[in-house]
Each structure stands twice: as C-alpha cells, then as structure tokens.
Structure 1
C-alpha cells in the first residue's frame, strides 16, 4: 500500500492497494469459492476523537487523523471463528467548519478457520516506486473531495509516497495486512501498516 498524488496537476491525494494476482495455496482451504466468508466491512477512526488529530500544511484540510485502524473482532489467540484482513482502503475528509480532517478507512474481509499468531506495526517503508507493480486504485470518490487547485507537483513534499509492503519474501512467513494508520512525520503525511502471521 502507498499514498500517491494523481490528476493532471498531481493535486489529488490517493491511496493504492496492491492485490495478489493468484491466491496463495495455503489460503485456498480458507478462502475458496465454496467457503462462506460473509460480506466485507469498512472500519475507520472515530469522527469526534480529536486526540488523534495532527496539524498539517494543506489547503483542503488542516489536520490528519492518526488513529490506528484495526478490526476489533480479531485478536491474538482467539477461537477459530476467523481473522479479518485488509482488502481495501479509502481516504476521506471530515468537515468541522474551522478545520477539515483527512482520515483513512480500511475494508476488512474474513478468513475463516484462522487465528493470529503474531502481529507487528511496521514503520519502515519500502521504496519500490520505480518497480512496476499492478496496483488497484480503491479510493472511490475520495480523490475529487481531496483535490486541490494548484499547478505542478508542489504537494509532493507534504506526502511520503514510498510503498509499505511485507509478504512471503519477508521471514518467517506470509505476512498479511491487518491494520493501518495515517501519520504526520516532519510535516509529511505518511502511511503505516500492521502486519500479521496467521495460524491456518
């Protein structure tokens, strides 16, 4: 996952989510077409919880909600009712009149019959922007809300666009995203993710 700027003037803040081309064999028994997993659901921060609002220098919003987003139904060592993993992401803006707050919400899908073995928050992005990847833009109408009328790419200095990723190439196994949050570091908007290893 990564943040990026789009549009003819590079003035729309967007979030990209890379999907797997093929389902890993280890997940087939848990997530095949014959397995009932239920409808995915969105999870986001509390709108009125200003404890997590961090100021940022941006014309269309003054603050960023840095609240961690996790699915409350998934816990380490829980029963085998399933684990919820991130399969979508969306940006939006709350309008409080005197201040507009950028926030992120995540789409969770259920993996039945699994439990979480280990989780960690990763604050070290992987700079893979020069590598060609197939990404899916999953922001809906958020880009039109967050667009800013400015010429050129002056906003790039306010956004960390490096990619956050961890997968089967990272020991000890196949990491899946189970949480995320926006942040503000040295005046830049950043994306940070929570990864988990599962017991299948």
Structure 2
C-alpha cells in the first residue's frame, strides 16, 4: 500500500519515528539503526512495510531498501514476528546481519534482546535454506539451476554473493558489484560493504 514515506521527522522515540507527510504524521516503527540516522525537524525518507493483524495495523519504516528486505525475510521465518525482527535488526547493521546468517553465526543474533538460541537457529536455517533453493552459486559467482539441496560453497565470493542475495539483490546486480573487487586482500565483511557501496552509487 505504501512504498515509502518522505517528509520532516516530527517525533522520535524508542523504535518509533513520526514522519510528517503533508500535515499527516505517519508513525513508523523502526530500528535503532535507522533511528541513529534521523534528526527531528530534518527531512527523511523511509521505505515501508504495512503489517495488518486482527487487532492492529502497523507501519514499519526503514532507512534503506536492504533493511526493509531483511525485515521481510525475517518475518517470513516461522515464529519471528515484527517485534523480534526489529530487535534483531536493531542489534547490528543489515550487511553484518546478512553475513551472520550466511556464516551461521548464532551469537550475532542472540545478542538481540528477546532472541534465544532456538529462534536464532531457525532464522539461519530457514533463510539459508531459502537461498539454497532459490539459487546455487558456483565458485565463479554465476547462478544456475539447482536441485534445492546443494550446499552453498564455503568461499569468500560465494558467501558474499549469498549475503547480498539475503539483502534482496538480484544475481545480475551482485555479479556487477563484485566485479573488479580485490577479493584476496579483503575480508568477507569488507567485500560485502564494498559491493553495497558500489550498488548504492547506481
């Protein structure tokens, strides 16, 4: 229903930003990561997700498409609701969270308030499984049809590609972003951050 809201930031509180759009204040539940980049009175643009339940209609807003994509990925996991997804996203950056999911780092998820080991394991298992079924990555980073049971290869290029896919990028966008990066001299985290910078320029 809403793709984004844009306007001056009218109010900020814990996990909430109110954006004034033509005299109407849209209350967007959000992460500490997005809140850290907002200033009251200054213009902001938040990419949104409308969540409807029997007893409530809530608008969630995020500073980047990557954070919104990860939020949607997280709430697709059984047992993870919007509140838990916000908690996970507030504990780290989108790039680092995608990296944690691909590398199976449970501790990065359990440091979020209210997130136990079982939920962390389920997030990692379901999102890695979705990724494996959606695409199988070769060592050169190309995408080809898979059976859905292929394990994502354990090398920097394929892990970086998988993490960027979790953030919602297509394989074509990922290949372009990774092209020309000095993979041998960079850590996995540095590769992902450099690729994100390249994609944000386009």
TM-score by length of 1: 0.26
Q: Which structure is higher in helix share?
A: 2
TM-score by length of 2: 0.25
Q: Which structure is higher in strand share?
A: 1
**With CA pairs under 8 Å and 6+ residues apart, which has the higher RCO, 1 or 2?**
1
